[in-house]
Amino acid sequence: MANLQLGRTQFGDPANSGRVLTEAEALQLLEDWVPNERLRLHMRQVGALLKTWALERENLPESEAHKWWLAGVLHDADWEKYPEEHCRRIIQELETRQIDPTVIRTIACHGPRHFGVEPESTMEKMIYVFDELSGFIHAAALIRPTRYEGMDVKSVLKKLKTPSFAAQVNRDEINDAIGRTNLSLEEVIDFILKYQIPA
């Protein structure tokens, strides 16, 4: 596997604070960079969860919540086309576009073991929390006739304890992400089940 370590922990220029892509610009970038519809859905799901969390749990204004959404919706933008440069490419793109450094650093934090950037802010910790776990829950929903409808925390926990189910999802990373917050796994699963984009 390629070495994805970014080799730095500072991203963007503080002078660009407040500069963001519009929703239309971000979705166009998604369209241009990510051919795989399933991956695009995952990124939109993470973006939607982050924005909802920012609004409902952090009581942030819409302008700040948009930054959370932007980081989520673009975090895997280079994963499919540039797997050897995952995270590096999208960071360079956003730095070139002079986007707010908090958005860029949050993207760099979505996999600390892979990229070498430790989540510090709440936004950075929550992208790490939602990334693997929302993907896992989505996989669990896809095998149910009713998808998310009627799905509960208990059934997700049971699936997490079944190593053969969605074996590519790293349980250690899910636990590590939750452990960096003062949240319980059950609380986060419940939030995802309530606000996930339907499968």
pLDDT in tens, 157-181: 999 999 899 888 889 999 999 999 9
- Residue 124 and residue 160 in contact, taking contact as beta carbons nearer than 8 Å: no
Note the maximum CA span of the chain. Answer: 50
Q: Which domains does the chain have, with CATH numbers?
A: 14-195 (1.10.3210)
**Rounded Cα distance, 34 and 81, in Å:** 7
Residue 95, CA atoms < 13 Å, CB-side half-sphere: 14
**Rounded Cα distance, 27 and 119, in Å:** 25
- Residue 129 and residue 177 in contact, taking contact as beta carbons nearer than 8 Å: yes
Predicted model pTM: 0.95
Residue 61, CA atoms < 13 Å, CB-side half-sphere: 2
Residue 132 zone, left/alpha/beta (φ > 0; ψ -120 to 50; rest): alpha
pLDDT in tens, 34-87: 999 999 999 999 999 999 999 999 999 999 999 999 999 999 999 999 989 999
